[in-house]
Copies of this chain bind each other. A is one copy, B any other.
């Protein structure tokens, strides 16, 4: 390792720059790439031109101690993830994300250098997903770090996919694989506890790279958005899987007024996740159903579109939309039907401080 342990890292207090200076310092190098961006940072508001396309927007807040733990979350990854989770919501409408705003509140334990790292991650996400940072707010907080991102995008009206438009007979599809991000979090939490009880231990996380990266640096499925477009496919309904498959399936079913069954064998699970679930004495399918933060897509297609999907990479046919009265069930590999219970993450039960 090239790092010199004796070297004291540079620490510039944010007060040295002031609010406007800090925003400028952090955002100066962000380019404006989108033809739709008319005005970015530097006025009362951003201005964009989507011509006759519809405007899609969504906002999310990430709070230190609730949504992330800086003990094992590098700020660069956090910045990247804060953008990704919002882009995922736009993509889940089958819309193209085009711009974001980022507001942060920080306590004075954060230096300019720490914020540079955070914005490095934001920069990387903007570059990878080709979105422009066009505004935001930088302020102080009495405690911790809070990041609020708004993502905005556009779509032709006939392409937009909602949650409430799944029809009986539609085929249920899932992208990627599920449960990995949750198991990555379990590994990080376990290592944190080990470290807290014995700070001398250096964890070797190399072997679990895949699961950990799914937790720390998730990706939004912009590739699927592009694949749909290329194959002239418009899902009949869609939602991103941020709270676990069960919870998202419930949203689609209750809003579309239908039921569903999922084939246990149709739930995509990564081999690393299978193995790690066993290590933690957990059921891999339960991790996929109830673990959060995979940011994959759950969507339904008209049965007539089956041929369009069948041979597309990384899309798995997992079940079917049925009558509401049939409920929401898991069809196990053993041939049984088990009702699926929605048990998404509830960030309200996680806090216990005043």
Contacts and interface: CB of A to CB of B under 8 A. Distances in A.
Interface of A: 14-15, 18-19, 22, 38-39, 42-52, 54-61, 63-67, 88-90, 92-93, 95, 101, 103-105, 107-109, 135-137, 139-144, 146, 148, 150-153, 157, 160, 162-164, 238-240, 255, 346-354
A352 to B, nearest CB: 7
A37 to B, nearest CB: 10
Contact of A162 (B43, B63, B109, B152): B43
Contacts of A39: 162
20 contacts: A14-B348, A18-B346, A42-B255, A45-B56, A45-B57, A45-B95, A45-B151, A47-B56, A50-B55, A59-B136, A60-B103, A60-B137, A61-B105, A61-B139, A107-B354, A108-B353, A142-B144, A142-B353, A146-B146, A148-B148
A160 B44 CA distance: 11
**Looking at A48, A142, A152, which has the most chain B CB atoms within 10 Å of its CB?**
A142
Contacts of A160: 47
Contact of A93 (B45, B109, B351, B354): B45
Contacts of A108: 348, 351-354
Contact of A353 (B15, B19, B22, B143): B143
> For the complex formed by this chain, how many copies does it contain in all?
2
A107 B163 CA distance: 30
Nearest to A107: B354
A46 B50 contact: no
Given A22-B348, A89-B45, A63 B146 contact: yes
A44 B143 contact: no
Contacts of A88: 44
Contacts of A64: 142
Contact of A144 (B45, B109, B143): B143
A350 B140 CA distance: 8
A57 B150 contact: yes
Nearest to A108: B351
Given A44-B58, A45-B92, 16 more contacts: A38-B157, A42-B163, A43-B162, A44-B89, A44-B163, A45-B57, A50-B50, A50-B55, A58-B135, A59-B135, A61-B103, A63-B139, A139-B347, A143-B144, A146-B146, A150-B150
